[in-house]
């Protein structure tokens, strides 16, 4: 006897009352007649599905085992199409076709596979890294290891290579807590790429939300991805998945029919002209429709339950909260996630925008959602490029963009700060190119973002000019040190750990080649930067984390904060308009540990008078030098041109709490006038 739930293909073990077999169930209210098709080599069997319940077609077939290929056939405008199960847990091969797509070609596409969820997790627990301690590393499964000669335990570019001892050693040495993988769900390449015999390398064109892409497997994508996750967990490293639920690979009104368009036209947002395109990809999923919401929620739960995924980064997440042309903070999707006990412990990171009306929603996602902070990226890039007028905004970004994300809502609303993301310049290219160079994408350099806020330091592209190379390295250190010593969750790009260049391509979505594959040939300069980065992440954990914890929640106003000019005077309102140098002084309680961050935006050195708070400061970092030689500093610091310095001193043991609160209140009140607006 078949059942409507759960949807998809679900194996049933034999018992005294039930035979062994598989229950197939698919939501298809727009299909009057639907057949299940089972494939065995070149032969196939078809079964008419007679059982229906609330738009769900379901059938039980005995003697089915894992690995069985299947699909659903339906007559659409007089032609017999084979449709892929939206709940497919695996596919038979990497999907590909030669445009245009047709009913005949649908029968030669990748088939869904029946899977067995049995896997030995060996009682390895999830790392469960606190938000404030999280260091994100964004990478592409294949691009991360394809050219790494140190990979020995697995095929380069594969799921299992992610957990190769060489990769795990690197991640641990770098201090990475969480790997954020670009989409690994089965991807179908856009028609214009297929015509060029190209691919969507990034994977932002989802065909099956629950099935891992076989492009990165040698035999069994399901088992190999689970194995990689287990071994990363065993070594204390979380796995965050980048997921695409805002649109599907079916494209616009004239796009191909893979499943959802035929099964239920209400899966997508529509208007009188057809499909709404708030994603730039031709369609937008309508999560106010119950079936769409179910598909997304079931997919998320499946990744957590069956793959032990630690969290998700949601591509163009504003679409998920849409009610037509408007974004709704109380959207059904947000409520569904918030009440789900499986999803509640996971990390949820939103890209808080799409390209539709009312599409920019930074800071408007509900509690429990962290958000990618593009304001941090743009402001910090502009500041270190030397642009004027960013001092106050720069200070606000360092303090966690609190006008967007109040410290009272930390850590669950800590912003995800970043300098570089997959969809833009790498860090190396950010300091090497003034303009994008995307001609390899085949669109005459029209694609990609034009507002990069980059600076080539004097020469466009690769150079052997020693002075320019040194300046670029210093700029990289300025950007990364600002990222690591700001309030928020740091997001790093894997390419930046090896100083990888994409040749100025800031939209390498279709480059499955050396443009996107990380170059692991480390010269002395690259190795020095990688070693420096490891030390700086360790310094963040040692010196910055206590301040993030202290400035979080109800006790955040019990601590000290002051802003200084280079002459040692507390900054006044007019100073924010014309100063090029800035000092941020942070202190715990009245006499606890202290940090002093010094910034010089111009090329001229500055003699910075330090605050009159003995004892002597200890130097943590000076970006003018690659080396972290210890140094004790007293009342002045010679701040090099275009550089940043981090100084630290340990405080005296805390005294009676009751006396501290009163004293801290006085200090806080006194310091308010010295802070840029909205930075508190």
Active-site annotation holds for 315: yes
φ, ψ at 658 (rounded to 5°): -60, -35
pLDDT at 679: 40
- Whether 131-545 and 8-113 are alike in CATH topology: the answer is no
368: left (phi over 0), alpha (psi -120 to 50) or beta: left
pLDDT category of residue 17 using cuts at 50, 70 and 90: low
Listed by start position, the domains of the chain span 8-113, 131-545, 553-674
pLDDT at 443: 94
Q: Which DSSP letter does residue 277 get?
A: -
Residue with tokens 């390498």, as numbered in its chain: 508
Whether cis (ω within 30° of 0) applies to the bond prior to 411 is yes
On the question of pLDDT at 418 being above 90, the answer is yes
- Collapsed DSSP state (helix, strand, coil) of residue 597: strand
Residue with tokens 């950010």, as numbered in its chain: 430
pLDDT in tens, 102-125: 999 999 999 999 999 999 999 999
Residues 163-168: what's their mean pLDDT? 97
* Pairing between β-strand 581-587 and β-strand 274-275 as defined by DSSP bridges: unpaired
Instruction: Report the 3 state secondary structure along 314-345.
Output: ECCHHHHHEECCEECCCCHHHHHHHHCCCCCC
Joined tokens for residue 421: 């993301």
Whether the Cβ atoms of residue 27 and residue 54 lie closer than 8 Å to each other: no
pLDDT category of residue 665 using cuts at 50, 70 and 90: very low
Residues 79-97: what's their mean pLDDT? 98
In sequence order, the 6+-apart residues with CB closer than 8 A to the CB of 669 are none
Query: Residue 177 pairs with which residues in a beta bridge?
Result: none
pLDDT in tens, 518-567: 999 999 999 999 999 999 999 999 999 999 999 999 988 889 999 999 99
On the question of pLDDT at 165 being above 90, the answer is yes
On the question of pLDDT at 233 being above 90, the answer is yes
pLDDT at 652: 64
Using a 10 angstrom Cβ sphere, with 0-12 exposed, 13-18 middle and 19 or more buried, the burial of residue 97 is middle
pLDDT in tens, 595-613: 999 999 999 999 999 987 6
- Collapsed DSSP state (helix, strand, coil) of residue 513: coil
Q: What is the mean pLDDT of the chain?
A: 93
On the question of pLDDT at 222 being above 70, the answer is yes
Residues 291-316: what's their mean pLDDT? 98
**Which one is catalytic: 315, 358, 374, 575?**
315
Residues 24-40: what's their mean pLDDT? 96
Residues 281-288: what's their mean pLDDT? 97
Residues 29-34: what's their mean pLDDT? 94
Instruction: Give the CATH architecture of domain 131-545.
Output: Alpha-Beta Barrel (3.20)
pLDDT category of residue 676 using cuts at 50, 70 and 90: very low
On the question of pLDDT at 630 being above 90, the answer is no
CA angle 305, 309, 312 (to 5 degrees): 115
**What is the CATH topology of the domain spanning 553-674?**
Immunoglobulin-like (2.60.40)
Residues 439-459: what's their mean pLDDT? 96
Whether the Cβ atoms of residue 530 and residue 498 lie closer than 8 Å to each other: yes
pLDDT at 659: 31
Residues 362-391: what's their mean pLDDT? 97
On the question of pLDDT at 439 being above 60, the answer is yes
Asked which of 221-235, 252-266, 472-486, 614-628 is least confident by mean pLDDT, the reply is 614-628
Active-site annotation holds for 77: no
* Pairing between β-strand 8-12 and β-strand 51-53 as defined by DSSP bridges: unpaired
pLDDT category of residue 135 using cuts at 50, 70 and 90: very high
On the question of pLDDT at 299 being above 60, the answer is yes
Q: Which DSSP letter does residue 349 get?
A: E
**Which one is catalytic: 164, 351, 393, 575?**
351
Residue with tokens 């999923």, as numbered in its chain: 285
Q: Tell me how far apart the alpha carbons of residues 127 and 224 are, in angstroms, rounded to a whole number.
A: 20
pLDDT at 15: 66
Instruction: Report the 3 state secondary structure along 403-430.
Output: CCCCHHHCCCCCCEEECCCCCCCCHHHH
Joined tokens for residue 493: 């790009």
pLDDT at 677: 35
- Collapsed DSSP state (helix, strand, coil) of residue 79: strand
Whether cis (ω within 30° of 0) applies to the bond prior to 253 is no
pLDDT at 627: 81
pLDDT at 661: 31
pLDDT at 675: 43
On the question of pLDDT at 63 being above 70, the answer is yes
On the question of pLDDT at 504 being above 90, the answer is yes
Q: Tell me how far apart the alpha carbons of residues 354 and 547 are, in angstroms, rounded to a whole number.
A: 34
pLDDT at 25: 98
The hierarchical CATH code for the domain 8-113 is 2.60.40.10
Residues 425-452: what's their mean pLDDT? 97
On the question of pLDDT at 289 being above 70, the answer is yes
pLDDT in tens, 378-407: 999 999 999 999 999 999 999 999 999 999
Q: Count Cβ atoms below 10 Å from residue 496 Cβ, excluding itself.
A: 24
């Amino acid at each position: 006897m078949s059942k409507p739930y759960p949807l998809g293909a679900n194996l049933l073990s034999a018992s005294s009352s039930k035979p062994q077999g598989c229950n197939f169930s698919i939501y298809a209210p727009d299909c009057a007649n639907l057949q299940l098709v089972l494939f065995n080599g070149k032969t196939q069997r078809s079964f008419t599905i007679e059982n229906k319940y609330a738009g769900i077609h379901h059938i039980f077939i005995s003697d089915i085992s894992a690995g069985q290929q299947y699909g659903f056939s339906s007559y659409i405008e007089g032609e017999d199409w084979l449709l892929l199960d939206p709940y497919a847990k695996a596919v038979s091969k990497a999907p590909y076709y030669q445009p245009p797509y047709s009913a005949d070609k649908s029968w030669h596409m990748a088939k869904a596979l029946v899977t067995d969820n049995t896997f030995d997790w060996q009682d390895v627990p999830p790392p469960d890294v606190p938000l404030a301690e999280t260091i994100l590393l964004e990478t592409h499964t294949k691009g991360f290891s394809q050219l790494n000669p140190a990979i020995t335990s697995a095929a380069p570019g594969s799921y299992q290579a992610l957990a190769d001892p060489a990769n795990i050693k690197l991640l641990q040495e770098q201090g990475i807590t969480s790997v954020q993988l670009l989409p690994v769900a089965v991807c179908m390449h856009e028609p214009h790429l297929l015509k060029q015999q190209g691919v969507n390398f990034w994977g932002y064109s989802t065909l099956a939300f629950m099935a891992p892409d076989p492009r990165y497997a040698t035999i069994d994508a399901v088992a190999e991805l689970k194995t990689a996750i287990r071994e990363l967990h065993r070594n204390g490293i979380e796995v965050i998945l980048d997921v695409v639920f805002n649109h599907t690979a079916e494209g616009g009104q004239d796009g191909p029919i893979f499943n959802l368009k035929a099964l239920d036209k209400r899966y997508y947002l529509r208007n009188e002209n057809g499909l709404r395109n708030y994603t730039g990809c031709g369609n937008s999923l309508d999560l106010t429709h119950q079936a769409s919401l179910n598909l997304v929620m079931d997919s998320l739960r499946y990744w957590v339950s069956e793959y032990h995924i630690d969290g998700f980064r949601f591509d163009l997440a504003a679409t998920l909260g849409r009610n037509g042309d408007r974004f709704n903070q109380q959207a059904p999707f947000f409520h569904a996630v918030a009440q789900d006990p499986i999803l509640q412990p996971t990390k949820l990171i939103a890209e808080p925008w799409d390209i539709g009306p009312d599409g920019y929603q930074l800071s408007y996602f509900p509690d429990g959602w962290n958000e990618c902070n593009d304001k941090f990226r743009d402001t910090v890039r502009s500041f270190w490029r030397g642009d004027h007028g960013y001092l106050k905004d720069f200070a606000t970004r360092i303090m966690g963009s609190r006008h967007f994300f109040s410290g009272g809502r930390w850590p669950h609303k800590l912003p995800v700060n970043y300098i570089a993301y997959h969809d833009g310049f790498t860090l190396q290219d950010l300091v090497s190119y003034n303009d994008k160079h995307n001609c390899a994408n085949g669109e005459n350099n029209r694609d990609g973002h034009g507002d990069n806020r980059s600076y080539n330091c004097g020469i466009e592209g690769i150079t052997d000019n020693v002075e320019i190379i040194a300046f670029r390295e210093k700029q990289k250190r300025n950007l990364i040190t600002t990222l690591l010593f700001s309030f928020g969750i740091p997001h790093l790009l894997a390419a930046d750990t090896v100083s990888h260049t994409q040749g100025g391509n800031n939209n390498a979505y279709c480059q499955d080649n050396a443009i996107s594959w990380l170059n692991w040939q480390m010269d002395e300069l690259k190795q020095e930067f990688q070693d420096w980065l490891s030390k700086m992440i360790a310094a963040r954990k040692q010196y910055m984390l206590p301040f993030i914890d202290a400035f979080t929640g109800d006790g955040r106003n019990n601590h000290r904060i002051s802003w200084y000019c280079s002459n040692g005077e507390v900054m006044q309102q007019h100073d924010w308009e014309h100063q090029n140098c800035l000092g941020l002084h942070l202190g715990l309680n009245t006499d606890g540990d202290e940090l002093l961050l010094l910034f010089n935006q111009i090329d001229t050195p500055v003699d910075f008078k330090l605050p009159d708070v003995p004892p002597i400061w200890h130097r943590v970092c000076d970006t003018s030098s690659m080396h972290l030689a210890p140094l004790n500093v007293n009342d002045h610091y010679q701040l090099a041109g275009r550089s940043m310095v981090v100084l630290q001193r340990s405080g005296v043991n805390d005294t009676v709490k009751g006396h501290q609160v009163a004293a801290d209140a006085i200090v806080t009140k006194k310091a308010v006038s010295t802070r840029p607006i909205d930075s508190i």
